[in-house]
């Protein structure tokens, strides 16, 4: 699927100007790349959110149509949001050139319900994404693992990622996910069956 987004040059910067842009429905952005000058941009917030939903926030190459400039092939390198309300605050676009390797974060997607979970175990996912290096055409939008066969005690590590022409930059021994033994429920006395505490010697009963 081809993604296209329109942007406009942004001549000003600063907090007050950025606030005005956001009030008017725009988001400040910057575009950069190897051998390219940094370019300040502004992108319509609604259009970007629509693209972001359709792409599931994954690494996809999109065509950035810049008013008064040449189209650029880019990926979304970073998205900054308000920590409370989640509104867009700033976007980083990285220019990509075919044949030139780039570093990007790729989401990890776990597929299925593990056998160990069905047996009472607990799935723990330690990594949600990994850093990889690859040319744009080889960059995976996400990495899937079918985990249905994992039993209690089984795990998947970074070293288990095998994708041709993609270099994974994380520690190979780092655990992506593991199936732990489930916690045993504590057995508590049923209501009304607790024994009364023994009286201390010399203690008198009161009515």
Residue pair 104/139 in contact (Cβ under 8 Å)? The answer is yes
Q: Point out the least confidently predicted range of 53-67, 99-113, 169-183.
A: 53-67
Q: What's domain 103-180's architecture?
A: Beta Complex (2.170)
| DSSP 8-state symbol, 3 | E
Q: How confident is the model at residue 52, as a pLDDT?
A: 92
pTM here is 0.72
Residue 65 burial (CB count, 10 A)? 14
Residue pair 122/144 in contact (Cβ under 8 Å)? The answer is no
Q: Which helix (H) or strand (E) holds 21?
A: helix 15-23
Per-residue model confidence as pLDDT tens digits over 177-195: 999 997 644 444 444 444 4
Average pLDDT, the chain: 87
**Which CATH number applies to 3-97: 2.40.240.10, 3.40.47.10, 3.40.50.410, 2.40.50.140?**
2.40.240.10
pLDDT at 199 over 60: no
Radius of gyration from C-alpha coordinates of the chain? 27
Per-residue model confidence as pLDDT tens digits over 125-167: 999 999 999 998 898 989 999 999 999 999 999 999 999 999 9
The CA–CA distances, whole Å, from 1 to 4, 63, 151 equal 10, 11, 37
Per-residue model confidence as pLDDT tens digits over 95-124: 998 888 999 999 999 999 999 999 999 999
205 — pLDDT class (breaks 50, 70, 90): very low
Residue pair 59/106 in contact (Cβ under 8 Å)? The answer is yes
Residue found under tokens 């810049």? 66
Residue pair 6/46 in contact (Cβ under 8 Å)? The answer is no
Q: How confident is the model at residue 25, as a pLDDT?
A: 95
Q: Of 11, 48, 6, 12, nearest to 27 (Cα)?
A: 48
- Rounded Cα distance, 150 and 206, in Å: 61
pLDDT at 4 over 90: yes
Domain spans of the chain? 3-97, 103-180
């Amino acid at each position: 699927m081809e993604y296209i987004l329109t942007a406009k040059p942004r001549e000003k910067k600063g907090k007050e100007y950025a606030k005005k842009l956001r009030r008017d429905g725009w988001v400040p952005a910057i575009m950069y790349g190897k051998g390219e000058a940094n370019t300040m941009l502004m992108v319509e917030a609604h259009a970007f959110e629509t693209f972001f939903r359709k792409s599931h926030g994954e690494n996809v190459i999109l065509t950035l149509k810049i008013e008064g400039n040449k189209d650029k092939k880019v990926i979304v390198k970073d998205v900054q949001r308000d920590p409370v309300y989640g509104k867009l605050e700033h976007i980083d676009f990285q220019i990509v050139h075919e044949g030139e390797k780039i570093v990007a974060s790729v989401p990890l997607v776990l597929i299925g319900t593990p056998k160990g979970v069905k047996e009472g175990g607990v799935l723990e996912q330690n990594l949600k994404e990994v850093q990889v290096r690859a040319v744009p055409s080889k960059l995976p939008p996400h990495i899937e693992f079918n985990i249905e066969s994992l039993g209690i005690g089984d795990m998947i590590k970074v070293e288990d990622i095998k994708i041709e022409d993609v270099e994974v930059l994380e520690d190979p021994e780092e655990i992506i996910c593991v199936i732990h033994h489930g916690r045993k429920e504590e057995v508590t006395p049923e209501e009304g069956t607790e024994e009364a505490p023994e009286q201390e010697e010399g203690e008198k009963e009161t009515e």
